[in-house]
A and B are shown apart, each in its own frame.
Chain A
Amino acid sequence: MAKTIQEINDKIKKGKAVVVTAEEIIDIVKEKGARKAAAEVDVVTTGTFGPMCSSGAYFNVGHTKPRIKLGGGTSLLNDVPCYTGLAAVDLYMGATAVQVNDPKNSVYPGDFRYGGAHVIEDLVAGKSVRLKADAYGTDCYPRRELDTLIRLKDMNEAVLFNPRNCYQNYNVAVNLSDKVIYTYMGRLLPRLGNANYCSAGQLSPLLNDPLYKTMGIGTRIFLGGGEGYIVWNGTQHNPGVKRSKNDTPRFPAGTLAVMGDLKQMSPEWLKGASFTGYGVTLTVGIGVPIPILNEQIVRYTAVRDEDLVAQVVDYSKNYPEVVPGSIAEVTYAQLKSGSIELSGKTVPTGGISSYNRAKTIAGLLKERIQEKQFYLSEPVAGLPSVDADIQFKMLNERPAKQH
């Protein structure tokens, strides 16, 4: 019999909800069958902990006396520039911003030791950061300079707002060239020296709900250790890619835009990451609960690493030059085993997303639900799915007229 989210929440309230992780559900469905499993299990928790570049946070730092209009000026947090094209004291710090004096890749490969993601991590850890700003001064906001220490708790609002997280599947990156390359998928050694992948596979939120049957706008989630929400589909959301028989995408597909109160979060689940030769990014911990509303949904959550495939892509030429084509298709079970076979060669694999931490997140979310600290929410609208006819566009460059 089909259940509703309301019924599941009532069970959570009574302490009677059956909650398991996306790893645990695999054996339950195998032993009991989907029908029985759907009747017995109420919630399956998923998790992921990986670098997600399209992340950032906005802050309202409070007004100064006399007033200053940071908007339209320059504001730095620990020497990392914020976006100031907002109101007087609202700032947005993007995860990939780097310190103004960072040599970047001029000393190749650059270290990118500290950037926007680290500012966010430091703030969440309760540390003071230095806010240094220049403004142009107006009649109503006369002040032109500011140099102060500030903590998260000093701010009015601090909100994590990530335009694209939680990629539903990702490429496996390799290097076919003769020299080492440094990418957002890590260091790739020449001539298929290693293969790096980036997904929690069978624990990954969107691989457990491949057609977005339960996740939508307004879905409450575990975000960075606190609570957050899915607020939109993520940028580059591309549900129309080729899929396997189990409906999971064989290529990178759906994405989520998420949001939550930064003040609730913890540095354990929001970590600045430095990719040598590439830049700074934020590693975000996300867990999404899946309400088991029917048999089809439980079958989806029982997906195993051996049933999930990813494409092996050359990052020395094909990725940068946008040459389509995959070298091979491999399963997450193969990737997690430590090596894959490519062109007759045993290639060691490395993770970019932490399966171990994804598992911890799924477990934490399960506990929170069991302890009545976390209730499921009813999405107010769905995410665009395979029938939405979304075309993934490249930028069509039209040279501006030369003067």
Chain B
Amino acid sequence: MTKKRVVLTFPTNQVSQPISYHLVKDYDLMLNILRGNITPNEEGRLVIELSGKKQSLDAGLEYLKGLGIEVESLARDIKWHENKCTHCTACIPTCPTQAMSVDRESMEVSFSKERCIACELCIPVCPFKALEIQF
């Protein structure tokens, strides 16, 4: 089983396509919608988690791209602006994966892209907008 979190950007004419039906039925994937922002006749965005066999996952993503949907992996989407960070540590207790962590000696905060699952829990917590969602 492989899991992947992706951001889908839909062109206006694609919004009404029943993509979730096809992903589930034709590609045997499980689909979990994490965030959605779609209004008819406008460009829309969906953040989804797909899980299934690695092969089916790749095929499913190819199918989406074939429809003209832009597919981006989510891990890239949280940016830590080091120059804005004051190392206050307010975000530390909220981060479920320790992507944000502190060196307890210097009390310096650092961010690990690899560990970040882009859950966005830290976004409203940072008073200095040092953590940003990048769609």
Taking beta carbons and an 8 Å cutoff, which residues of A are in contact with B?
A: 49-51, 109, 111, 113, 186-187, 189, 193-196, 271, 273-276, 281, 283, 336-338, 348-357, 359
Contacts and interface: CB of A to CB of B under 8 A. Distances in A.
B129 A271 contact: no
Contacts of B104: 336-338
Contacts of B36: none
A271 B108 CA distance: 18
Nearest to B129: A274
A356 B91 contact: no
Contact of A336 (B87, B93, B107, B108): B107
B107 A350 contact: no
Contacts of B124: 109, 111, 187, 276
Contact of B127 (A109, A283, A348): A283
A356 B127 contact: no
Interface string B81-123: 0000011111111100000001010111100000000000000
Contacts, number: 79
Nearest to A276: B124
A193 to B, nearest CB: 7
Contact of B88 (A337, A338, A353): A353
Contacts of B34: none
Nearest to B122: A187
Given A274-B127, A283-B127, A356 B107 contact: yes
A115 to B, nearest CB: 12
Contacts of A195: 93
A34 to B, nearest CB: 26
Contacts of A354: 86-89, 107
B59 interface: no
Nearest to A198: B88
A188 to B, nearest CB: 10
A51 B125 contact: no
Given A356-B106, A356-B107, A359-B107, A351 B90 contact: yes
A53 to B, nearest CB: 12
Contacts of A49: 86
Q: Which of A193, A349, A350 has the most CB of B within 10 A?
A: A350
B90 to A, nearest CB: 5
B127 A275 contact: yes
Nearest to A112: B127
Interface residues on B, range: 20 to 34
22 contacts: A49-B86, A50-B88, A109-B124, A111-B124, A113-B129, A195-B93, A196-B93, A273-B127, A283-B127, A348-B93, A350-B88, A350-B89, A350-B93, A351-B92, A351-B107, A354-B86, A354-B88, A355-B107, A356-B86, A356-B107, A356-B108, A359-B107
A348 B86 contact: no
Contacts of A51: 127
Contact of A276 (B93, B107, B109, B125): B125
Nearest to A109: B124
B25 to A, nearest CB: 38
Contact of B90 (A109, A271, A350): A350
A395 B89 CA distance: 34
Contacts of B125: 186-187, 276
The 7 closest A-B pairs by CB, nearest first: A348-B93, A194-B93, A273-B127, A351-B89, A356-B87, A276-B124, A355-B107
B88 to A, nearest CB: 4
B128 interface: yes
B130 to A, nearest CB: 10
Contacts of B87: 354-357
Nearest to A186: B90
Nearest to A278: B127
A281 B90 CA distance: 15
B35 to A, nearest CB: 17
Interface in B26-67: none
Contacts of B89: 349-351, 354-355
Contacts of A271: 86, 128
B69 to A, nearest CB: 29
